[in-house]
């Protein structure tokens, strides 16, 4: 099921700074509770194989929208593990007092001890089912996944995913039962100057409908280029490529302030208007380090944002999709750019 996923960091030449991320988001359409779970690998220029840092990051949002977060880092992530896992970080409750996590095609299981300033304890066990036969490859040409540019590659290997299980962070426990979800995967040598990850699931009366897009402004020397977007809308069983994925133009960001985003993405036969809103007190801000050094970034994330999509086919009637908490709004900004979201006390890199 889904796209064939392989982790990339073992293939990267020694001495080349690199990062990789596999991230899961799921939302309960009935209650609005949500989960965002991320496994990352960071390799610096001086790291030898086995010296990479592997981390597990976990946030839950209650039905009231308040987030609770935890994170821990271990040395020496493993590409693989029991039961065909894609990645294993740390150990297990039986072998490592600090915990650990594995992620694979069938699900993820892990724990964080929450000691030494790395946050509150956390634990999760989630089972995957129902992913679509083909995931989403965002870039318009396959050769770009092996090219030097863009410096970040992005895919969503498991779309149409359903997730069941329990995630606990601190005293907050979230149970998911056949909840809509997506598994994303990105990797590269450098984060964009600014980025957006936009996602939508759990639209009432629209089972199987989802939206997934990434937008970025990259820096070329001193110049920051305009926004460019890639992604797709799955609507009524039809996959609609958007932005550069459709080879139809990069799209536009019409409003982008913390907690609020309006963007337009073109398609070959229409356009999609995307509107996302999240109270800033329902957002978390993670520090993201550049693998090769440079300015730290903050990733402002709410994985239960209000989302409104308006798909207008060329010469046809518009279709509107709405959910009060089925959206993800992630806004990546340089650390030097002020914002009102409290930054979590976790390092990166």
Confidence label for 119 from pLDDT (cuts 50, 70 and 90): low
DSSP state of 280: G
SS (H, E, C) the chain: CCCCCCCCHHHCCCCCCEEEEEEEEEECCCCCCEEEEEEEEEECCCCCCCCCEEEEEEEEECCCCCEEEEEEEEECCECCCHHHCCEEEECCCCCCCCEEEEEECCEEEEEECCCCCCECCEEEEEEEECCCCCCEECCCCHHHHHCCCCCEEEEEEEEEEEEEEEEEECCEEEEEEEEEEEEEEEEECCCCCEEEEEEECCCCCCCCCEEEEEEEECEECCEECCCEEEEEEEECCEEEEEEHHHCCCCCEEEEEECCEEEEEEEECCEEEEEEEECCHHHCEEEEECCCCCCCCEEEEEEEEEEEEEEEEECCCCCEEEEEEEEEEEEEEEECCCCCCCCECCCCCC
Query: What mean pLDDT comes out for the span 203-212?
Result: 95
pLDDT at position 10, please? Answer: 93
How do residues 54-66 score in pLDDT, each as one tens digit? 999 999 999 888 8
More confident: 221 or 169: 169
pLDDT at position 201, please? Answer: 97
More confident: 118 or 326: 326
How do residues 313-344 score in pLDDT, each as one tens digit? 999 999 999 999 999 999 999 999 999 999 99
Is the pLDDT assigned to residue 96 strictly greater than 80? Answer: no
Is the pLDDT assigned to residue 272 strictly greater than 70? Answer: yes
Q: Report the Cα–Cα distance between both ends of the chain, in Å, rounded.
A: 32
Q: Do 132 and 1 contact (CB within 8 A), yes or no?
A: yes
Confidence label for 81 from pLDDT (cuts 50, 70 and 90): confident
Query: What mean pLDDT comes out for the span 144-149?
Result: 92
pLDDT at position 118, please? Answer: 53
Report the mean per-residue pLDDT for the chain. 92
More confident: 94 or 342: 342
Across 66-89, b (16+ Cβ under 10 Å) vs e yields ebbbbbbbbeebbbebeeebbbbb
DSSP state of 313: E
How do residues 8-52 score in pLDDT, each as one tens digit? 999 999 889 999 999 999 999 889 999 999 999 999 888 888 899
Q: Do 154 and 145 contact (CB within 8 A), yes or no?
A: no
DSSP state of 189: S
pLDDT at position 93, please? Answer: 47
Query: What mean pLDDT comes out for the span 281-303?
Result: 94
User: Percentage of residues in the chain with pLDDT exceeding 90?
Assistant: 81
């Amino acid at each position: 099921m889904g796209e064939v996923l392989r982790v990339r960091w073992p293939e990267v030449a020694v001495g080349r700074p690199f990062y990789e991320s596999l991230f899961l988001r799921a939302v309960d359409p009935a209650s609005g509770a949500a989960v965002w779970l991320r496994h990352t690998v960071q390799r610096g220029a001086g790291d030898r194989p086995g010296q990479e840092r592997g981390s597990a990051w976990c946030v839950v949002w209650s039905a009231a929208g308040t987030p609770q977060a935890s994170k821990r880092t271990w040395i020496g992530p493993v590409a693989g593990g029991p039961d065909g896992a894609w990645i294993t970080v740390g150990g297990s409750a039986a072998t490592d007092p600090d915990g650990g996590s594995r992620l694979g095609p069938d699900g993820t299981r892990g724990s964080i001890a929450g000691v030494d300033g790395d946050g509150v304890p956390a634990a999760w066990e989630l089972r995957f089912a129902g992913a679509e036969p083909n995931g989403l490859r965002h870039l318009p040409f396959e050769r770009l996944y092996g090219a030097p540019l863009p410096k970040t590659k992005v895919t969503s290997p498991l779309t149409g995913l359903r997730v069941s299980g329990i995630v606990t962070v601190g005293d907050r426990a979230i149970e998911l039962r056949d909840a809509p979800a997506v598994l994303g995967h990105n990797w590269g040598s450098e984060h964009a100057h600014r980025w957006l990850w936009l996602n939508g699931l759990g639209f009432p009366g629209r089972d199987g409908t989802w939206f997934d897009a990434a937008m970025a402004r990259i820096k070329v020397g001193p110049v920051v280029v305009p926004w460019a977007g890639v992604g797709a809308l799955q609507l009524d069983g039809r996959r609609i490529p958007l932005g550069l994925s459709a080879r139809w133009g990069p799209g536009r960001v019409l409003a982008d302030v913390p907690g609020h985003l309006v963007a337009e993405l073109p398609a070959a036969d229409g356009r999609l208007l995307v509107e996302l809103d999240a109270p800033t007190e329902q957002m978390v801000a993670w520090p993201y380090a550049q693998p090769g050094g440079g300015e730290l970034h903050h990733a402002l994330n709410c994985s239960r944002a209000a989302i409104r999509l308006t798909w207008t086919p060329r010469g046809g009637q518009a279709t509107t999709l709405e959910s009060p908490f089925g959206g993800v709004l992630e806004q990546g900004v340089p650390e030097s750019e002020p914002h009102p979201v409290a930054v979590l006390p976790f390092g990166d890199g």
